[in-house]
Structure 1
Amino acid sequence: MKTRLRWGVVLLLYLATSINYMDRAVLGIAGPQMMEDLSLTTVQFGLLGSAFFWTYTLMQIPVGPIVDKFGAKVTYAIAIVWWSLCTIATAGGRSLGLLLGIRAMMGIGESPAFPTNTRVIKDWLPSKERGIANGIFTMGIATGAGLSTPLLAWIIGSWGWHMAFILTGAVGLIWVPIWLYYYKNNPADSKMNEAELQHIQEGKIEQTVVSESKVKWYELLKIKNVWCCMYGLFSQNYLLYMMLTWLPTYLVMERDMSLLKAGFNAVIPWVVASIGAICGGLISDRLVKRGWRPIAARRTVMSIGMLFCLAIIPAGFVSNVGLALALISLSIGGMMFANSGTWAILTDIAPEGTVGTLAGLQNFIGNIAGWIAPIMTGFIVGYFKSFVGGLVIAGIITGIAFLVYTFLLKENEKTVTINENNEVVSP
């Protein structure tokens, strides 16, 4: 009987991702109080929401090779200590300039998270289990961004926005020693038995073995599917970061809710998102087990998820609050349904030793959306006094991703090879 230590690792990734997004989301929940306390306009607050992504995005290309070279154990530990301290430091920000600097530093700390998650899944899970594993850790986005919202809204209402940043930052520091004790870069060095190790090794797709540091990131751009994946994540992140920054404030400003009531109602879309993440992972794995090629299985899930994202467009026009919230929930749920496949598919298309680099490259393009979505939405709200335009733009961007996944992401799994000059030879 085989051990199940790999699922303990997946649980740690889920917790890390939950902490990651809780530390990001607290800004959006604190938004109304911070804008009042610091006399910030909607455009300035949108700029503050965008600042995190200036550095986070730029770090994605260099951080991927760092993960591949130094391994996940040390990289993740340093990253979480870094971003947790920056979260705590946000409580001391009393000016827009200082807060922009702190958020930019926080972006550097969080930059290794998803490349590291993807590398860990690659090393610890067989291909047929990567969909659900990615679904579990991406469910942490919904947990951190939404399920913690009522608690954080209550903390802000009771003790102010400063205390919310201090407490959320402290949570990450608790996770680090558990990770350092439990995780091993090589599964063979853990306490798993031979049966589990064999299960992992036998379930990996055969790929060309290359040195981890030889293939340059720009060589991966020769793989056509990489471009589809990069735009797909960009579209998902546009919707995600718009909601992450503005959802509680949208409910307060556009739907006339109190902050505490908005906090409780903001949970609903993220509950649906959690279900979407798990279902997307389960379905793609089930398809693989039934004989589908992994890329075809992930692509199907990603296309269906992005189709549901279009529900964000009518959400901007309905007058009934419950219906608007239901449509927003369907949209975010679809995004998370697709997101589980977005990360799992990288382990199937990346040449051996480059999955961290490829994840960083995808995350670089994907998180350019973080530069754009918060501040563009803030500008639209400030100019038009309404969120409708922002929701429509998000719907158009995600709708294009549905077309990209459906018609351009190829199902055939021709092997990507590396020539003698360590260059990718595109199929």
Structure 2
Amino acid sequence: MPNTELTPAALTDPAAPGPGHRRQAWTVTGLLVVFMMVNFADKSVLGLAADPIRRDLHLSATGFGLANSAFFLLFSLCGAMGGLLADRVRPRRLLLGMALLWSLAQLPMALGGGLSALFLSRIVLGAAEGPAFPVAQHTALGWFPDRRRNLPGALINVGITLGVVLAAPGLTWVIRHHGWRSAFAVVAVAGVVWAAAWAVLGTDRPTRSAVRGAAGRGRSGQRADLPPYRRMLATRTWIGATAGYFCTYWMIALSLVWVPSYLHDGLGYSPTAAAGLVAALWAVNGVALLGQAALTGRLLRRGVASRWARGRVGGITLLVSALGCAALTQAARGPLTVLFLLVGFGLSGAMSTIAVTVVCEVVPDGRRGGALGLMNAVVTTGGLIAPALTGHLVDTQGSTGYRHAVLLAAVLLALGGAASTALIDPARDARRLALTP
């Protein structure tokens, strides 16, 4: 008979729900979906206003790429620190502080700042937004047992999609009619409104380790029986999930920063048509996230092992995205270009939910925030590299640089898909963590 105390669910499931648990769980999840919407609306402003910002601030493509990469200068480090901090303090306070700092970071550009203010504000915004995704996932998933985490995890990612889907046409309209600085003011106000709602309705979910209190904790306040982070980060599941998610984040960075310019300058679409295609791309991403959640949930309920239901599904999705990007580099402007764009950039986001849920299967509750934060720190280095590298390619090769950037993305997606398919096996790694001293 298997020892059920060593299964992933036993290691990571939250405490037994009390009265009103389900209602509060979905209230928190809904607020965190909106949290991620604001988060990615913040990120999308620079890409949507690329042409007027470059013109007004006299930026080359390389300079503009560096301005976007500045966002990720402290993003990864703060993401890791925020995730580790979420294992020690209430995430509710972290989320509230982050949202308020986002809004403050937008003000310099809304109020007339120049090039130096642009770089500084993006660095501060990146530092404040770095922990957003891991802390939001850690907070939301803590309300649900493992078998029910697919949907809330996917919905947090759908918040990313909705943020861009709504921001692309909405902020483009603001930019065209009121100037690009007004777009920064709009997202700043959105952050303050969310913070007010979270202050009233947001809360943390106590877990078994929290309920147990100080008993069984060491001098540092952490459970003495929890495995160290270095062992969790050495598991094949964490490595495979991180490799796949890195490729997804590379695509997210390209989608936010360069796809609008690629569609406009590289393929000749009007700014309005380009904004519509960006929105469509992210809408496909949302459909892929929800479809993945439904498929993996159904497979898990039928008894399919998570290495197949999650790991293989995520890996195959990345491989299909790689084919879409490779085909996009060979297609002329037309319906096929749109199809390959939606497949290559739209499907790859499904891996982000899978990466989070498989890591949560492996990692005990008292280490979840740190493990997700450290994963996020690694994968978001893609956001630091991709914009600057693409800007360099465009400056040195012209419109051909866009095609080479997409071809490089195809190669990375293929590698990430292969790693996810071959390495992810949460049940195996959870047992090893539980059994190895």
Please give the per-residue CA displacement for 1:132-170, whole angstroms capped at 9, x wherever unaligned. 111111011111123320111111000111000110111
Instruction: Give 1:173's aligned residue.
Output: 192
Give a deviation string over 1:60-98, Cα, whole Å, max 9, x none: 222212111112111100011111221233324643332
Deviations 1:267-318 (A, max 9, x none): 1111111101111112111111111233442212211221221111211221
2:306 paired with 1:297: no
Q: Distance in 2 between matches of 1:416 and 1:110?
A: 34
Q: In the alignment, is residue 330 of structure 1 matched against residue 330 of structure 2?
A: no
Root mean square deviation of aligned Cα: 2.4
Distance 1:178 1:337 in 2: 28
Match of 1:21 in 2: 40
- Give the direction of change, closer, same or farther, for the CA distance of 1:418–1:257 in structure 2 (3 Å limit): closer
TM-score by length of 1: 0.89
Question: 1:316 and 1:275, CA in 2 relative to 1: closer, same or farther beyond 3 A?
Answer: same
The within-5 A match list for 1:76-155 is: 76-92=95-111, 94-155=113-174
- Secondary structure (helix, strand or coil) at the match of 2:331 reads coil
Deviation, structure 1 residue 99: 1.1
Partner of 2:286: 274
Please tell me whether the aligned partners of residues 306 and 425 of structure 2 are also in contact (alpha carbons under 8 angstroms).
no
Number of the residue aligned with 1:367:
380
- Paired residue secondary structure (2:428): coil
- Equivalents in 2 of 1:123, 1:412: separation in Å? 19
> Could you say which residue in structure 1 is the equivalent of 2:61?
42
- Taking the aligned partners of 2:174 and 2:276, their CA distance within structure 1 comes to 13
Deviation at 1:260, TM superposition (A): 2.3
How far apart are the structure 1 equivalents of 2:267 and 2:287?
25
Choose from 402, 406, 420 the match for 2:417: 402
Q: Partner of 1:194 in structure 2?
A: none
- Shift in Å, 1:411: 5.4
Give the 3-state SS of the residue equivalent to 1:47 in structure 2. Answer: helix
**How many angstroms apart in 2 are the aligned matches of 1:220 and 1:60?**
17
Q: Which string of whole-angstrom CA distances, capped at 9 and with x for unpartnered residues, describes residues 326-350 of structure 1?
A: 2111122321222221211121011
Give matches, 1:38-77, under 5 Å. Answer: 38-77=57-96
Whether the aligned pair in 2 keeps the contact of 1:277 and 1:340 (CA below 8 Å) is yes
1:216/1:53 Cα in 2 relative to 1: closer, same or farther (>3 Å)? farther
Q: Report the 3-state secondary structure (helix = DSSP H, G, I; strand = E; otherwise coil) of the residue aligned with 1:59.
A: helix
Q: Structure 2: how far apart are the matches of 1:173 and 1:94?
A: 21
- Which one-letter code corresponds to 1:255 in the other structure? L
Task: Verify: 1:306 aligned to 2:318, yes or no.
Answer: yes
1:355 aligns with 2:374: no
CA deviation map 1:252-271 (0-9, x unaligned): 11122232232122211111
Q: How many Å separate the matches in 1 of 2:217 and 2:281? A: 42
Task: Tell me which moved more, 338-347 or 128-137.
Answer: 338-347
| Secondary structure of the structure 1 residue equivalent to 2:258 | helix
- TM-superposed CA distance for 1:216, in Å, is 4.8
* Cα deviation code 1:181-220 (max 9, x no counterpart): 22221369xxxxxxxx9xxx9xxxxxx9996476654343
Residue type matched to 1:83 in 2? W
Task: Rate the CA distance shift 1:403–1:414 in 2: closer, same or farther, 3 A.
Answer: closer
Does the aligned pair in 2 maintain the 1:269–1:326 contact within 8 Å?
A: no
Superposed displacement of residue 41, structure 1 = 0.3
Matching of residue 259 in structure 1 with residue 259 in structure 2:
no
Q: Note closer, same or farther for the CA distance 1:425–1:151 as it changes in structure 2 (3 Å cut).
A: same
- Where does residue 158 of structure 1 map in the other structure? 177
Residue equivalent to 2:247: 235
Letter in 1 for 2:31: L
Q: Residue type matched to 2:303 in 1?
A: G
How far residue 374 of structure 1 moved from its aligned partner, in angstroms, is: 0.4
Q: Whole-Å Cα distance in 2 between the matches of residues 404 and 229 of structure 1?
A: 8
Amino acid at match of 1:282: A
In structure 2, what is the Cα distance between the partners aligned to 1:425 and 1:106?
A: 40
CA gap 1:39/1:248 in 2 versus in 1, 3 angstroms: same
Match of 2:354 in 1: 341
The verdict on how the C-alpha distance between 1:414 and 1:106 changes in structure 2, with shifts beyond 3 A counting, is closer
SS at match of 2:315: helix
1:321 Cα deviation from its structure 2 partner: 3.2
> Which structure 1 segments of 5+ residues have no match?
189-196, 202-207
Tell me which residue corresponds to 1:383.
396
Amino acid of the structure 1 residue aligned with 2:263 = L
The answer to whether the 8 A contact 1:351-1:417 is kept is: no
**Partners of 1:295 and 1:413 within 8 A in 2:** no
Q: Per the alignment, in what secondary structure is the counterpart of residue 366 of structure 2?
A: coil
Matched positions, count: 405
Q: Secondary structure at the match of 2:425?
A: coil
- Name the SS of the counterpart of 1:58 in structure 2: helix
Partner AA of 1:391 in structure 2: V
Q: Secondary structure at the match of 2:303?
A: coil
Contact 1:307 1:334 (C-alpha < 8 Å) held by counterparts: no
Distance 1:92 1:56 in 2: 24
AA aligned to 1:279 is G
Question: Unaligned 5+ residue runs, structure 2?
Answer: 1-18
Question: Could you report, residue by residue, the CA deviation over 1:344-372 in whole angstroms, capped at 9, with x for unpaired residues?
Answer: 11210112301100001100110010111
